[in-house]
Structure 1
Amino acid sequence: MAQASTSTSKYNPRIHVGLSEERVTDVSSTDFPGHYPGEDHSWDLKKFVKELQVKIQKLSARSVQFDLVGVDASIANALRRILLAEVPAVAIEHAYVWNNTSVMVDEVLSHRLGMVPLNVDPALLEMKESTHDQATDRNTIVFKLQVECTRNTTAPRDSTDPAVLYNNSEVLARHLEWVPQGEQAEVFAARPPAPTIPDIVLMKLRPGQAIEMEVHAVKGVSRDHAKFTSVATASYRSLPDVILDDENPVPPHLATRFRDCFSPGVIKVDPRTKKVSVDPRGVRGETMSREVLRHPELAEYVKLARVRNHFIFNVESEGPYEPPRLPLEAIRVMREKISALKSAAEALRIPGDPDGDIQMAEL
């Protein structure tokens, strides 16, 4: 009784990372020169370009899921780390409090304001070299926050809701009012600076309490402070692969139990013949719980693995970037790092020694 399989019909340690009940096998990559006798695995640009694939699987206003195929795990992880720590964003850095009669102290309020995500495109601002640099319309966005709580004289006598009893009982992110500086009115005309989530509650006020302050937002990266993060989350996982043995199919009386050991939609059972097969699209959602390996009577029919060079990325935007733009920004940062490393390596070369043999001999 033949069965359908996923992308591969047999387990291959060259392209798979194996998952057994207690451990993970074949973790290390083997596609490098000298590992396989008689095979040339030296890096080749044409081969790399031919095998590299990037395909968007899901896209929404706030998130993107895409497949990155044909790269080593180190490259995928570098992309993830850059997304989390080095893609620039704009956040509130300085707070100038003129009046604060609320119960929240200035320092706590300033910290909360700094964590409010802004919709400002970082490409339209310059990065300050230091915190002491002069603020200009090229590197600073100015907001003012001026809110006062008063009683609502028209509120019903039996009302207990603060939103009905008082005016401005809550200070929201929407109360941040952009104050254009210099040429900013023209530069940001298409999308005026504002919080990406206007209903964030910053504090609560009661009659007689007020807040008046000015805040300055600047460009930065989250390796310096988490408020500069450009993503809400950025993660990847290797593509799951459920490999069925064509020569040893799952018996019909075990088909339902076998299917229930996997995430919904991964295993299909023919209602007439009880033949078991793997849904190539559904297998993407497999959590690799390894539940099937806990049952000896089922474990012999399947091999669990992950594809070594196929990564499923999930990236959620915090607001300043459209989701598909985030990976491109991360690649731009990566290229800048590679360029800096290349320049540093070239600077170490000794004249008359283009291959660096002298430095290597000294090392």
Structure 2
Amino acid sequence: SQPKITLRALTRERANFVLEGVDLSFANSLRRAMIADIPTCAIDMVEIQSNTTPLPDEMLAHRLGMVPLISADTSRVLVDHRECSCEEGCDRCSVELTLHAKCEERGIMQVTSKHLIRSNSLGSPYGDDEAMNAMGPMPSAQKSLDFGKPIGFDDPSVDGVMLVKMRKGQELKIRCIARKGFAKEHAKWSPVSAIGFEYDPYNALRHTAYWYELDAKAEWPLSDNAREEEAPPEGAPFDYNRKADRFYFDVETVGSMSPVEVVETGLHILELRTAQVVQELGVLLEGPVDGDAGGAMPNGNGLDYGG
């Protein structure tokens, strides 16, 4: 049967859907791709110019790195900083954010991610566009006006991520460089906070051995996904030929990307990697196609999601 996705619920930060017509390896590959292989933008370097708050510099830098930044279309608007020939960051590979807060009054001042301000431009160390083109890869699209800003920066209903609390006279002044990265390098680049993944809610395939004390059914209640399938007859013989072909996903994002973009990008990553395997196998079996053995397909860390 053909692959099919049935959307059960969709919000700004969550997508719940059923994937059918694929095998377990494909469904699990999609889950892993959405968690670790989608590029996003996150703070990667912090320059602390002044910090008289109780929080040590190292802890503050870690908290800044975990702040979700708006990352739509990251693969097209930023190049990998390791492929860029600049030294400290430029508009091609980085986004600059600054924060300057000082408590002037009695009481406690809460400094959150909403105090982070994205700079309009980092500038170019190369002088002009022609020189930039000669110094390495260029982004294939322009950044949006909100790209790299903390999520919810302009939404009063969204609380900013707490960074530090200050008393009167304390000051925090920092400069941050955000870069493109993948969650397989560090969790701060993951676009999702969690992905619920289930199949065979009745355990008819016996992939799970339940540990229980008295009653397995009472101690391991069925999930809501069991409503989507017919319960197997009590005492039915085990079907050795049956395979899982219906998978239940619950994708929750951190807000840096929409859940629709996360799922679509995850599927596109699998498509590109499958095409790359097919191409390489074709080269091994039949020789280079049109004289090009491998230049047509991007590598795993340089996926181009553009047309």
TM-score (norm 2): 0.69
Separation in 2 of the partners of 1:60 and 1:320?
14
Which ranges of structure 1 fall in alignment gaps of 5 or more residues?
A: 1-47, 153-164, 244-258, 267-280, 289-298, 353-363
Aligned CA distance change for structure 1 residues 205 and 303 (closer, same or farther; 3 Å): farther
Q: Which residue of 2 is the match for residue 254 of structure 1? A: none
Q: Which has the larger radius of gyration?
A: 1
SS in 2 for 1:98: strand
Q: Which residue of 1 is the match for residue 139 of structure 2? A: none
SS in 2 for 1:314: strand
Q: Choose the corresponding residue for 2:258, options 322, 330, 338.
A: 322
Q: How does 1:23-172 map to 2 (within 5 A)?
A: 48-49=1-2, 52-121=3-72, 122-130=74-82, 133-134=85-86, 135-152=89-106, 165-166=107-108, 169-172=109-112
Please report how far the alpha carbon of residue 301 of structure 1 lies from its aligned counterpart in structure 2 after TM superposition: 6.8
Separation in 2 of the partners of 1:339 and 1:308?
25
Q: Choose the corresponding residue for 2:119, options 172, 179, 182.
A: 179
Corresponding position: 1:196 with 2:147: no
- Any idea what the Cα deviations from partners look like across 1:142-171, whole Å, max 9, x if unmatched? 11010111224xxxxxxxxxxxx24xx221
Q: Which residue of 2 is the match for residue 18 of structure 1? A: none
Indicate if the aligned counterparts of 1:56 and 1:64 stay in contact, CA closer than 8 A. Answer: yes
Q: Which residue of 2 is the match for residue 20 of structure 1? A: none
Number of aligned residue pairs: give it.
Answer: 247
- Any idea what the Cα deviations from partners look like across 1:223-261, whole Å, max 9, x if unmatched? 011100011112311143599xxxxxxxxxxxxxxx989
Q: Which residue of 1 is the match for residue 197 of structure 2? A: 236
Separation in 2 of the partners of 1:348 and 1:238?
37
Separation in 2 of the partners of 1:304 and 1:177?
60
Deviating runs (4+, > 4 A) in structure 1? 259-266, 299-307
- Any idea what the Cα deviations from partners look like across 1:36-82, whole Å, max 9, x if unmatched? xxxxxxxxxxxx43xx2111011111111111111110001111111
Aligned CA distance change for structure 1 residues 336 and 132 (closer, same or farther; 3 Å): same
Indicate if the aligned counterparts of 1:102 and 1:210 stay in contact, CA closer than 8 A. Answer: yes
Please report how far the alpha carbon of residue 83 of structure 1 lies from its aligned counterpart in structure 2 after TM superposition: 0.8
Indicate if the aligned counterparts of 2:201 and 2:222 stay in contact, CA closer than 8 A. Answer: no
Which ranges of structure 2 fall in alignment gaps of 5 or more residues?
A: 124-141, 153-158, 205-216, 289-307
Q: Percent identity?
A: 24
**What RMSD over aligned residues (CA atoms) do the two structures have, in Å?**
3.5
Corresponding position: 1:216 with 2:177: yes
TM-score (norm 1): 0.59
Please report how far the alpha carbon of residue 300 of structure 1 lies from its aligned counterpart in structure 2 after TM superposition: 4.7
Q: Which letter does structure 1 place at the counterpart of 2:227?
A: V
Q: Which residue of 1 is the match for residue 304 of structure 2? A: none
Name the one with the larger strand percent.
Answer: 1
Indicate if the aligned counterparts of 1:118 and 1:195 stay in contact, CA closer than 8 A. Answer: yes
Aligned CA distance change for structure 1 residues 210 and 187 (closer, same or farther; 3 Å): same
